[in-house]
Amino acid sequence: MKKTVSLFLFISILLSSVLALSSCSGDDKTPDGMQLVAGGEALGYYFYAPEEWTVSNVGNVKSAYASRVDTSSVSFTEVMPSDFLPDGKENAEEYFFGSYFKDSLSEFSNEPTVSNPDGETVIFGKEGELADKAKKYTYTYDYFDYTANETFKFGFMQIFIKEGDRYYIFTYTASMKNRNGSDKTYYEYYLGDDENNGKIYDVINNFRFVEKKGEEETEELIKDADGYTLISDSALSGFEIYVPEGFKKDFSSAIVSATHNDGSNITMTEANGTNENVNAYMLRRFGDLGSIVENLSYEQKRSESGELEFDANDNPVVDYKTVEFGNSVLANAYEYSFTYNGETYKVYQVVIIDGWVLSYKGYVFTYTAKDANYSLHYDEIIKTTEKVIFK
């Protein structure tokens, strides 16, 4: 089945990290107690969230979350028929509201518990500026955190939306853990007692669709002497990174991403870890990824005598090589592979650190490509890493 944008990969992003911060200005119709997450005629909508939440927009995913401790969040993203419509299917609306959600469940390694697998027709948006059609699904998902060695249960509400000829997905997610010792979970708390008094329904009922006019402004490309394109804003990310011809920027904030038309992808982001052993950090990443993909494979480091190495906690030591990375002093490079939707992918990942323990300013660079395309860009990828400048 062809789906270049996976519903589960979108969900996994929401679960595995709190996205980078960005700011949005309000408009004259911002409801009391709320703030503008994203909006304007170029987008065709206005999306609001509680004013005390943190706005976190990365590329096409517009979102806000409660806090660093309480990661309850809402998000809104546009999806294109070319992203979700399988080969052989022609009616995007029929598939989007018919089989897309059910088909996507097969991508979860631990299948979610769905309360309404056929969905529920709902009203989405502010009266007079509603979506043409909307369908709601609710489910729970068990997410295993390898660092905490614990399974966490999350509740989800997803609303599939059609407005004109455009398709969107609204997502609310929160922990199913009881909130501050109360008899309500975080998920229940933000929903409220009914559709008139909960924060999430405030978000839904104040959402406004407007006539889409024009396009979002595009920025002027900056290239270096080799024709590599700057895709980062150093004020947000803390670094400058230039990517080779053929790679186009997906988004740029504290997380930077660019994709080639053959699907190969480059990302770079700040590493999240305080006094965490780098090997433990990599194993944690492998654990998160392993909940999504199959056949995750990496080499284990061997001693000079050929014996497999283990750390103090008896965990395998992931093999790596020390490389020069931009104007950094030290970087560990890892290579591994996995299978997703029947396709084999290879990864070149560099952890840029200050010593063996992650500093506050650690970074992770990742190049991912299908096995057949991995070597095609490899030399350019190495050159990309050499061009990175930390600010």
User: Of 4-18, 76-90, 233-247, where does the model show the most confidence?
Assistant: 233-247
For residues 178 and 261, membership in a common domain is answered with no
306-336 b/e (C-beta count within 10 Å ≥ 16 → b): eeeeeeeeeebbbebeeeebbebeebbbbbb
Under 8 Å between Cβ of 358 and 296: no
Per-residue pLDDT tens for 97-116? 998 898 887 767 677 899 99
Q: Which residues contact 362 (CB under 8 A, 6 or more apart)?
A: 270, 271, 273, 351, 352, 353, 354
Note the pLDDT of residue 146: 56
Q: Is the dihedral of CA 358, 364, 370, 375 positive or negative?
A: negative
Kindly state the average pLDDT of the residues 4-22.
42
Percentage of the chain with pLDDT > 70?
Answer: 82
Per-residue pLDDT tens for 251-302? 666 678 888 888 899 988 877 555 567 888 888 888 878 777 789 999 999 9
d(CA 324, CA 370): 25
**Residue 102 included in any domain:** yes
**Residue 223 included in any domain:** no
Token look-up 């560099």 returns 350
HEC readout, 303-333: CCCCCECECCCCCECECCEEECCCCCCCEEE
According to DSSP, the β-strands at 265-270 and 321-323 are: unpaired
In this predicted structure, the answer to whether residue 361 has a pLDDT above a threshold of 60 is no
Reading the block at residue 125, the tokens are 């948006």
**Residue 37 included in any domain:** yes
Note the pLDDT of residue 354: 56
Per-residue pLDDT tens for 115-139? 998 999 999 998 777 889 999 999 9
For residues 59 and 130, membership in a common domain is answered with yes
**Residue 218 included in any domain:** no
| Mean pLDDT computed over every residue of the chain | 82
**CA neighbor of 369 nearest in space, from 360, 361, 379:** 379
**Residue 220 included in any domain:** no
Under 8 Å between Cβ of 189 and 95: no
pLDDT grade for 216, boundaries at 50, 70 and 90: low
Backbone angles phi, psi at 353, to 5 degrees: -135, 170
pLDDT grade for 15, boundaries at 50, 70 and 90: very low
Under 8 Å between Cβ of 42 and 203: no
pLDDT grade for 249, boundaries at 50, 70 and 90: confident
In this predicted structure, the answer to whether residue 186 has a pLDDT above a threshold of 90 is yes
For residues 79 and 23, membership in a common domain is answered with yes
For residues 71 and 137, membership in a common domain is answered with yes
Q: What angle do CA 174, 43, 27 make, to 5 degrees?
A: 80
pLDDT grade for 4, boundaries at 50, 70 and 90: very low
Reading the block at residue 317, the tokens are 């030591």
Q: Which residues contact 95 (CB under 8 A, 6 or more apart)?
A: 84, 85, 86, 89
pLDDT grade for 236, boundaries at 50, 70 and 90: low
Confirm whether pTM is higher than 0.95.
no
Q: Which residues pair with 12 in a beta bridge?
A: none
In this predicted structure, the answer to whether residue 222 has a pLDDT above a threshold of 70 is yes
pLDDT grade for 358, boundaries at 50, 70 and 90: very low
CATH number, domain with residue 273? 3.40.1000.10
Note the pLDDT of residue 374: 96
d(CA 229, CA 383): 12
pLDDT grade for 145, boundaries at 50, 70 and 90: low
**Residue 222 included in any domain:** no
Q: What angle do CA 266, 272, 278 make, to 5 degrees?
A: 85
For residues 68 and 111, membership in a common domain is answered with yes
Reading the block at residue 46, the tokens are 């206005």
CATH number, domain with residue 110? 2.60.120.1690
Reading the block at residue 187, the tokens are 């998920």
**Residue 12 included in any domain:** yes
Note the pLDDT of residue 3: 41
Catalogue the long-range contacts made by 189-195 (C-beta closer than 8 Å, 24 or more residues apart).
190/66, 190/72, 191/157
Centre a 10 Å sphere on the Cβ of residue 224 and count the other Cβ atoms it contains.
11
HEC readout, 182-250: CCCEHHHHHHCCCCCCCHHHHHHHHCEECCCCCCCCCCCCCECCCCCEECCCHHHHCEECEECCCEEEE
Number of domain units in the chain: 2
Q: What would you report as the CA-atom Rg of the chain, rounded to the nearest whole angstrom?
A: 22
In this predicted structure, the answer to whether residue 371 has a pLDDT above a threshold of 90 is yes
Backbone angles phi, psi at 351, to 5 degrees: -105, 115
For residues 338 and 293, membership in a common domain is answered with yes
Per-residue pLDDT tens for 54-68? 887 766 788 888 887
For residues 203 and 248, membership in a common domain is answered with no
Domain's final residue, options 177, 209, 241 = 209
For residues 192 and 56, membership in a common domain is answered with yes
Note the pLDDT of residue 215: 63
Kindly state the average pLDDT of the residues 368-388.
95
**CA neighbor of 265 nearest in space, from 373, 135, 173:** 373
**12 class by beta-carbon count within 10 Å (0-12 exposed, 13-18 middle, 19+ buried):** buried
For residues 45 and 143, membership in a common domain is answered with yes
Note the pLDDT of residue 17: 40
For residues 109 and 243, membership in a common domain is answered with no
In this predicted structure, the answer to whether residue 180 has a pLDDT above a threshold of 90 is no
For residues 277 and 342, membership in a common domain is answered with yes
Under 8 Å between Cβ of 231 and 73: no
Note the pLDDT of residue 321: 93
pLDDT grade for 157, boundaries at 50, 70 and 90: very high
Note the pLDDT of residue 106: 72
Note the pLDDT of residue 121: 94
Q: How far apart are the first and last CA of the chain?
A: 43
Reading the block at residue 202, the tokens are 């405030």
State the residue range of the domain holding 42: 7-209
Kindly state the average pLDDT of the residues 1-17.
44
Kindly state the average pLDDT of the residues 304-314.
90
Domain's final residue, options 156, 175, 209 = 209
d(CA 309, CA 1): 40
Note the pLDDT of residue 155: 93
For residues 282 and 353, membership in a common domain is answered with yes
Domain's final residue, options 209, 242, 260 = 209
